[in-house]
Amino acid sequence: MQKPLLIIGNKNYSSWSLRAWLLLKAFNINFDEQLIELFHPSAIPILNERAPTGKVPVLVYAQDDEKVTVWDTLAIAIHANDYLTELDLWTGLRKSDAETNTRNRINSAYCQSIIAEMHSGFMGIRSEMPMNIRATAKIQPSNACLNDIARIETIFEDCLKERSKDSYLLGSFTAADAFFAPVILRLQTYADASDIVLKPTTKQYCETMLNNPHLQAWREAALEETRVIKEDEAGEILSVVGVLADQK
Ligand SMILES: N[C@@H](CCC(=O)N[C@@H](CS)C(=O)NCC(=O)O)C(=O)O
């Protein structure tokens, strides 16, 4: 099998790309990455050739001279779990151990349910707090956005209430942590600035995720980017960090 190639968008903005990238990194799946400029003419030939929906992320590789293409983050997670690792992405356990008891089955169901919930919902937070890693911004959150945050905090409480302080959502790192990673970065850059008060469990989990070395590597790369995409920015930008700040 050829080494997979993950095509992603700008790291400062592309939340779906982050989910797929972090998942593959966290599960030690070897891949190359190709970054395209979102909403830019230079991306069009690459997307036309590789991305059936014109969106990223897309995972491509060759096997037995045939081309395998996986688009959409949820499909990439399922495909990676089925073909690219000995680990079970829903529990973080070895596949041979993952089905041995009811607790693992409950965790697997919980993980799959919350990543599906993220994939199909949370439109309030996703539209009003677009991922913009470099920028601290103040927004006026709607009730839909606040309801999304409340639901996310309930999930975090539910997952973490009986776990150690620095635990991931289901104990070990799973697909759930990758799918909620952009939320962590959004809370980091919008919550305080917008007077959104977060629960202690949420703050603790944010700290755990921000200490994850792969998420840190993504964030550092995002802060090196210079492209500003106006349609992916929201609210009143109070400050920026990274190379754009250094240029001022
Ligand atoms: N449902 C898709 C969403 C992918 C998506 O919306 N990607 C954005 C970047 S985060 C994109 O490619 N936007 C470019 C466009 O819409 O033209 C998934 O789960 O991967």
Read off the pLDDT of each residue in 224-234 and give the average, rounded to a whole number: 95
Q: Supply the pLDDT for residue 97.
A: 85
Q: Please say if the pLDDT value at position 247 is more than 90.
A: no
Torsion, Cα 86 87 89 90, to 10 degrees, reads 120
d(CA 174, CA 80): 12
Tokens of 19: 């989910």
Q: Which domains does the chain have, with CATH numbers?
A: 5-86 (3.40.30.10), 116-246 (no CATH)
CB 11 within 8 A of CB 225: yes
176-214 pLDDT per residue, tens:
999 999 999 999 999 999 999 999 999 999 999 999 999
Using CB distances shorter than 6 Å, the residues near ligand 1 are 9, 14-17, 38, 54-57, 72-74, 119
Bridge partners of residue 169, in order along the sequence: none
Closest residue to atom 18 of ligand 1, CA basis: 72
Task: Quickly list DSSP for 161-205.
Answer: TTS-TT-BTBBB--HHHHHHHHHHHHHHHHTGGGTPPPPHHHHHH
Q: How far is the CA of 13 from the centre of ligand 1 (A)?
A: 11
Q: How far is the CA of 56 from the centre of ligand 1 (A)?
A: 5
Tokens of 139: 């927004």
d(CA 149, CA 122): 8
Q: How far is the CA of 5 from the centre of ligand 1 (A)?
A: 17
Q: Supply the pLDDT for residue 248.
A: 62
